[in-house]
Structure 1
Amino acid sequence: MKIKYLVSQSLFVIRFRYIKKLASYLRCSKLRLVGMKIGKNTVLSHCHLTWPHQVQLGNKCLIEHGVYFHYDGIYSEGSSIVIGNNVFVGNHTEFNITAKINVGDNCLIASGCKFIDHNHGFNYNELINSQLCSEKPIDIEDDVWIGCNATILKGVTIGKGAVVGAKSLVNKSIPPFEIWAGIPAKKIGERK
């Protein structure tokens, strides 16, 4: 029994410590070649990108599998999706960006979150799918925690140290150190 346990632990360590790091290193190297900016000691699992040069990741980030960096625009210079240092992004999170999103340092973004910085026009006299989209950047300040499956819409600023509850729909800016939850999100508390 003890030998079986040691073998399974060794395989676990090899798989998650060494093979995962090697795969991340190779993935980061490949993406750097096509223009993505990736900081030191960032671990990047398999993700989806439309324009790699539009994404900038800071140092010591952990990006889980299935994250979608979708820059929804034509080719342009510079980064539109900017993630700070020491940020965790959970699996299957979607950044659907036309203008810009900034995520500060030391943030936690749980699995399944969506960030959408644009919206379709809906004037009566025109077809909806032919109208121009309105767009406003999203700004996530330092030390923010966003719960799983939350949706953050255009023009929102989430203040330093704020918390967003799971499955919340944030369509208004959140002041620093406040806790918001619900659909639409409302203040339910403060960090003290």
Structure 2
Amino acid sequence: MPQNIYLEDYTLVQPHSNFVIAGGRVFIKKWTSLSFNCTIVTGNHKPTVGLNQRIIERLHINDIEKDVVIGEDCWVGANVTILSGTMLGRGSVVGACSLLNKSSPPYAVLVGTPAKIVGVKFSLEQILKHESNLYPEHERMSRDELEVLFEKYYKGLKSMGTDYLSPEEKMKSMQYANMQYKI
């Protein structure tokens, strides 16, 4: 595994993804998937009087390096760019071709350049059910925490997820239960 990239269990990074790292770190937490051609950049160059950009970039003079953290159970769509200092909240979804340049709350649905919150992954009740299936009790978000999130970020926004599984999908998913339910 390349230096400064930390992948937790059951993460998936699709081909042609790029990690541009000089001194920062990238943390991708469990059950998270990055689609094709994602780019994660942990640094930024600070213009410096008397030095041209090529020298600053090549020698990493006055670089500003910050970690990137992608929370648990996130889906990052194709061609997404994630910049230095970004923390993507647990359970979030990022639409294809988006640019993340700031942190986001858990279960956000984000799209655009720069990415903005346009929805929530699940309803509050669905998140409670989802959390009880995925996390031990001491790791779950509480109803109170979720109510604060919904009031602050998701008021009036639609949820995109479902809790419906066809019998075939249910049977298929149970084959991989060790990847999801309370390991």
TM over 0.5: yes
Q: Match for residue 26 of structure 1?
A: none
Return the alpha-carbon distance in structure 1 between the equivalents of residues 34 and 121 of structure 2. 18
Shift of 1:128: 1.7
1:15-70 per-position Cα deviation (integer Å, ceiling 9, x unaligned): xxxxxxxxxxxxxxxxxxxxx4xxxxxxxxxxxxxxx4x2xxxxxxxxxxxxxxxx
For CA contacts below 8 A with separation 6 or more, give which structure has more relative contact order: 2
- After superposition, what is the alpha-carbon deviation per residue over 1:116-170, rounded to whole angstroms, capped at 9, x for unaligned? 0001222354312233221100011100100000000000000100111100010
Structure 1 counterpart of 2:72: 142
1:112 partner amino acid: N
Matched, 1:107 2:32: yes
Partner of 1:177: 107
2:17 is equivalent to residue 87 of structure 1: no
Higher strand proportion, which one? 1
Match of 1:167 in 2: 97
Task: For residue 172 of structure 1, give the secondary structure of its aligned residue in structure 2.
Answer: coil
Asked if 2 retains the 8 angstrom alpha-carbon contact of 1:121 and 1:128, the reply is: no
Give ranges in structure 2 of 5+ residues lacking alignment.
Answer: 123-183
The answer (yes or no) to whether the contact 1:101–1:138 under 8 Å persists in 2 is yes
Moved over 6 A (4+): none
- In structure 1, give the amino acid aligned to 2:43: H
TM-score (norm 2): 0.60
Letter aligned with residue 184 of structure 1: P
Aligned-CA RMSD value: 1.3
Which consecutive unaligned segments of at least 5 residues does structure 1 have? 1-35, 37-51, 55-79
Is the 8 Å Cα contact of residues 181 and 188 (structure 1) preserved in structure 2? yes
Given the alignment of the two structures, is residue 130 of structure 1 paired with residue 55 of structure 2, yes or no? yes
Identity of aligned residues (%): 34
1:151 aligns with 2:75: no
* Structure whose residues are more often helix by fraction: 2
Moved more, 154-163 or 92-101: 92-101
Deviations 1:96-117 (A, max 9, x none): 1221010000001000000000
